[in-house]
A and B are shown apart, each in its own frame.
Chain A
Amino acid sequence: MTPAAILHRALAEPESMRGLSADDWNALIRVGRAERLLGTVAERAVPLWDALPAGAQTCLTEERDITRGDHLAARWEIDRAALALRNVGCPVILMKGSAYLHAGLPAAQGRRIGDLDILVPRAALPAVEAALLAHGWLQAKENAYDDHYYRTWMHELPPMVHKERGGVIDVHHTILPLTARLKPDADALIESRVAVADGLFVLGPAEMLLHSAAHVAYDGEFEGGTRNLWDIHCLASDFAQTPGFWDRLTEATDRHQLRVPLSRALRLARRLYGTDVPETLAGRMDLVDRLALRKLHGRDRFGHQGAKLSDRLLYMRGHWLRMPPLMLTEHLARKAFRRKERAQPV
């Protein structure tokens, strides 16, 4: 069993933690921290808490405290953003961790939450940005190229950071970069919204799952894939309890052109966590799946991911899907030059 598989199993079948050796625990703690999933492991371990070794209890308790702090901070960021945006006159839709938390979904249990992600109609972007600037958020990117990159080609504004709290907000107007080959229907995403507390919204169940799937299986190189696929597993297992969900999901998938990434995400979640998925939606394993699985099992017992050829191929694929070839060449050249300037003395 790979060190990563110990983590996958601990999440999907918490009872498996009863039989772990000290070496296994040390590996689980490292890989869990590296994947930002140890807090979730800790929540999953609660029913068998007394059977865990003391050293594991210590680390898991600490992780629960860290997650609790994260959630407290995330709730406050949500609250402040709601206040700043209440007079803008457009729906404000929470996304990812903050959405799971605010909507009380099982996917939020033990989940680390970093930046606040929101979705608003594209036409409202100037008003939203102005309102955030007026309420203490600042542009985090000072580099003119970065600013241009986000505004022209991406699906979000350049990230903004609050000048006192340091919280980062990402304001999206759709769920994939504008330069990507697939074009989800942004209006339909916003249309799908469901009201939650404080005048805020979250995406409808199908769209929420699609966003998560697009994020893990299309936009990027499966970085953080273990966590994102756990999100997929939790969302799919939760929503599937509502009759007719898979049909509505299929319909939404076709509208947003997201069949390929959705199927891939569901296949990989099933492979890692045993997610119950209809065969018609799962489709068949392919080369990208295999590369992704290699990466998802790639960490050693210290949580370190070696740079392997399969990871490089995924990186290239991620960027290939993200933007057209000429643009990609220029973008990577700029990033390569910049990397040299970034390192800090100790």
Chain B
Amino acid sequence: MTPDRWPSRTLRIGPASFHLRSPFRRVIDEVNALYRDYPAETADGIYDYAVSAVPSSPLRRWVNPNLRLECDFEPFDTLPLPVELGMLGLEMGMNLQMAVGYRRHVVVHAASSASGDKAALLIGDSGAGKSTLSALLAYREGWRHLGDEFALLDLDAPLLHPFPRPISLKNASIAAMEARAPADRFGPVLEGTVKGTIRHLLPPAAAIDAMETPAEIALVVAPHFRENAAPAWRPMTRTETYVRLAASSTNQALMGEAGFEAVWRCLAHAPAFDIMYGSSDDALELFETLWRKVTA
């Protein structure tokens, strides 16, 4: 089997398209299972980014197999991944393409979710609870999931574009969501990653069907989870919000004035709040309160 004929899958997610491939059949089988609801072709057959999970050396295809990534926008030297984590590798590869190569929108490391035609942006460092909160909004409150990894800010209007990848749940959030979402929406349990245990949750099908429809940004929230914390919130100034958004954007600075204008337009349009909570119930309640406040 030559590299041209390896198992592969083209994948459209929101405005971006990817071509994923690997000589390890199980990796592409897992991709096909997890991404079953996503379109497998582009309008004219041309895709944006190729990400391949290739054996880390020719020998490693057969003996103690492991793999590394090859992408349009290349990762730095990384340690080889076991084949069981191949799909996760492809996911990281896709993230890298969005972070480094994508320039059609401002890419912010954030979750986003919409209710009707209005959307909320959830910013914060890894572990702040963005993925969990957006998963709860999608599966408990019936919101339209826009994305849990990257939010895409329009360059001309205060709009968020969906990039509804499977939600990447980590550690304790996995059990919390297993109780609330249908079992057939979950991917395999991935153990031993640098972030601990990861399990993907496929967003509700309606969110994927509507992935080309943007929503107007109405609220920015910076969630902070702290064990046993009493629920609290405070408004953030535009300057503080700008600094946080700019710091969590992969391409805003690289896009110069257009990037700055896009971020500033969004935060001039949507009020921002910092929220602190100790349980998902508190988080949702705080979120609902703020949402009512800004959309009233």
Contacts and interface: CB of A to CB of B under 8 A. Distances in A.
In this complex, the interface size class of chain A, counting residues with CB under 8 Å from chain B, is 20 to 34
A62 B44 contact: no
Interface string B222-261: 0000000000000000000000000000000011100000
Interface in B5-34: 17, 19, 21
Given A26-B47, A33-B72, A343 B79 contact: yes
Interface in B93-107: 101-104
Interface stretch (A200-208, A252-260, A300-308): A300-308
B116 interface: no
Contact of B46 (A25, A73, A346): A25
Nearest to B193: A346
A300 B50 CA distance: 13
A51 interface: no
Contacts of B48: 55, 58-59, 62
Interface string A68-85: 110011000000000000
Interface in A232-278: none
Interface in A175-193: none
Interface in B44-66: 44-48, 50, 52, 54
B89 interface: yes
Interface in A19-39: 22-23, 25-26, 29-30, 33-34
A62 B45 CA distance: 18
B42 interface: yes
B72 A303 contact: yes
A66 interface: yes
27 contacts: A22-B44, A22-B45, A25-B46, A26-B19, A26-B47, A33-B73, A53-B46, A55-B45, A58-B48, A59-B46, A62-B48, A62-B103, A62-B104, A69-B254, A69-B256, A72-B256, A73-B254, A301-B4, A304-B3, A304-B70, A343-B79, A344-B76, A344-B79, A345-B78, A345-B79, A345-B194, A346-B78
7 A-B pairs with the lowest CB-CB distances in the bound complex, closest first? A55-B46, A22-B45, A65-B103, A53-B44, A69-B254, A33-B72, A55-B44
Given A29-B46, A300-B4, 9 more contacts: A29-B72, A54-B43, A55-B42, A55-B45, A68-B256, A300-B3, A302-B3, A303-B50, A346-B81
